[in-house]
Amino acid sequence: MPLRTFRRAAIASTLVALCFTQPAWSWGRDGHMLINRLAAQNLPADVPAFLHDRNGVDVMEWMGPEPDRWKQRDAEPELVAVQSPDHFLDYEWAIYGATACTDGTADCVAGYKFPRRRYDFIRAMIAAMPAHPEIKTFETVGFNPWQVNEVWERLKSDLREYRRMVAAKEDTAGVQVAILFDAGWLGHYVGDGSQPLHITIQYNGWTGPNPNGYSTDHGIHSKFESVYVSANVHRDTDVAPLVAATKPVDIPDEWTQYLNYIHHTNSLVEKVYQLDKTGAFDASGTPAGKTFVDERLAAGAIELRDLIYSAWLHSADPVQEYHGPQ
């Protein structure tokens, strides 16, 4: 589809999406659009212009909430079932599918080494579940870092094809559409990964022992990520300066870096509940709540910008040519 058609379709679908209520379980529509837009706007000059020119930024922004449009249970139930776990990771359960390791060794993040391949993780979870009967099905643990890794690899693959086509002086209109889709799609899950209530079993009200009296209300998730953000966060004055203040980074190993990113997100879960107890996210909230939310949204945009930048840089890495099944 030519870029302009893609854009027209994008705008039309946005209008349709506005007619439906916001599905739960991710930064709301506004938060995801903000993260994707700011990531694209802050890409460095050596990334191809179509990823951050006016059309690129608009497509990226529209793509921000795209995977949440795939959550209409009555309309596309099989799609909902298969892709919903890509949006989160119940970190406290997921470590049962990891192996203990010493920090500083390969793939070791905060004492745990997760399998890089999704199906290996599923096998490890199935093996671990008999000892943890609170986990009813493996997919309830979530797949966020695997989804990010796989979509990031698609992006890198398409960027490699783009480099080849430019070198061969071929028309790149088609591959540009694919790349914008990949980058925008990636942005959704990277944004989910900066939201503390996406990377924990405490995703919607505190469960288990609760000596500090944290909220057990099931409204906390959407209050924090949707209602509060839409009412109080100003993209250009609050979050954009935080993103612009950081320099794009080449990530040498996407998998380990991303796991560090979500491990840090998980370390902030209790802070959300502490802030919530002070009314930080009620109505206009508190200054501490505002600082926290602005920082989390900026963290998502920074991570996405750096992942796109790194996919571009590493799409130049030499690869063995694939000759099909032997």
Positions touching Zn ion (CB under 5 A) are 26, 87, 192
Q: Shortest gap between Cβ of 126 and Zn ion (angstroms)? A: 25
In whole angstroms, how close is the CB of 64 to Zn ion at the nearest point? Answer: 10
The smaller minimum CB distance to Zn ion, of residues 2 and 219, is found at 219
119: number of Cβ within 10 Å = 9
Q: Report whether 180 contacts 48 (CB < 8 A).
A: no
Nearest distance, CB of residue 60 and Zn ion, angstroms: 16
Tokens of 79: 């799609």
Which C-beta is closer to Zn ion: that of 29 or that of 87?
A: 87
The residue among 149, 167, 159 whose CA lies nearest residue 257 is 149
- Nearest approach in angstroms of CB 195 to Zn ion is 8
Nearest to Zn ion of 158, 192 (CB atom): 192
Smallest separation, CB 68 to Zn ion (Å): 6
Could you give the maximum distance between any two Cα atoms of the chain, in Å?
65
CB nearer to Zn ion: give 31 or 248. Answer: 31
Report which residue's Cβ sits closest to Zn ion: 26
Q: What is the DSSP letter of 112?
A: E
Residue 36 Cβ vs Zn ion, minimum distance, rounded to whole Å = 12
What burial letters (b/e) apply to 229-247, b meaning 16+ CB within 10 Å? beebbebeebbbebbeeee
Residue carrying structure tokens 């493996």:
138
Q: Is 279 left (phi over 0), alpha (psi -120 to 50) or beta?
A: left
Nearer to Zn ion, 87 or 290 (CB): 87
Nearest CB to Zn ion, comparing residues 192 and 306: 192
Long-range pairs for 165-171 at CB < 8 Å and ≥24 separation? Answer: none
Q: The tokens of 23 are what?
A: 């599905």
DSSP state of 192: H
User: Looking up tokens 């203990």, which residue turns up?
Assistant: 100
Residue 65 CA to residue 28 CA, distance in Å, equals: 8
| Cβ nearer to Zn ion, comparing 79 with 313 | 79
Rounded to whole angstroms, the Cα distance separating 156 from 178 reads 11
Least distance in angstroms from the C-beta of 27 to Zn ion: 7
